[in-house]
Amino acid sequence: MATPTAFFEGQFVPLEQANINIMTHAFNYGTAVFEGVRGNWNEEQGELYLFKVREHIQRIRLSAKIMRMEIKYTDDELCGFVQQVAERSGYREDVYIRPMVYKASKVVGVRMHNLEDDFLLFVTPFGAYLDPDAGARVGTSSWRRVDDTEIPARAKVTGLYVNNAMAKTEANLNGFDEAVMLNQDGHVSEGSGENILMIRNGVIVSPSPSDNILEGITLDTVLMLAKEHLGLSVERRSIDRSELYIADEVFMTGTAAHVTPLPEVDRVPVGNGRPGPVATQIQDLYFKMITGRLPQYMDWLTPVFAGAKVTAQR
Chain residues that interact with ligand PLP, rule: CB under 6 A: 36, 164, 190, 193-195, 214, 216-219, 253-255
Asked if 91 and 39 touch (Cβ cutoff 8 Å), the reply is yes
Rounded to the nearest angstrom, the gap between the alpha carbon of residue 140 and the centroid of all alpha carbons in its chain is: 20
Characterize the bridge pairing of strands 264-265 and 268-269: antiparallel
Of 103, 156, 168, 227, catalytic: 156
Q: Is 287 helix (H, G, I), strand (E, B) or coil?
A: helix
d(CA 215, CA 156): 10
**What's 238's DSSP letter?**
-
Of 204 and 219, CB closest to ligand PLP? 219
Q: C-beta of 157: minimal distance to ligand PLP in Å?
A: 11
Q: C-beta of 212: minimal distance to ligand PLP in Å?
A: 10
Q: C-beta of 217: minimal distance to ligand PLP in Å?
A: 3
Quick check: is 106 catalytic? no
Sign of the CA dihedral 228, 265, 262, 146?
positive
- Helices 217-230, 53-66: axis angle to 10 degrees equals 130
d(CA 47, CA 35): 22
Q: How many CA atoms lie within 13 A of 2 on its CB side?
A: 15
d(CA 133, CA 118): 39
Of 253 and 302, CB closest to ligand PLP? 253
Q: C-beta of 311: minimal distance to ligand PLP in Å?
A: 27
Q: C-beta of 215: minimal distance to ligand PLP in Å?
A: 8
The candidate with the shortest Cα–Cα distance to 204, out of 267, 136, 281, is 281
d(CA 161, CA 192): 8
Rounded to the nearest angstrom, the gap between the alpha carbon of residue 36 and the centroid of all alpha carbons in its chain is: 5
Of 193 and 292, CB closest to ligand PLP? 193
d(CA 96, CA 63): 19
Of 115 and 289, CB closest to ligand PLP? 289
Of 3 and 142, CB closest to ligand PLP? 142
Of 190 and 264, CB closest to ligand PLP? 190
d(CA 307, CA 149): 42
Q: C-beta of 272: minimal distance to ligand PLP in Å?
A: 27
How many Cβ atoms from other residues are within 10 Å of residue 277's Cβ?
12
The residues assigned a catalytic role are: 156
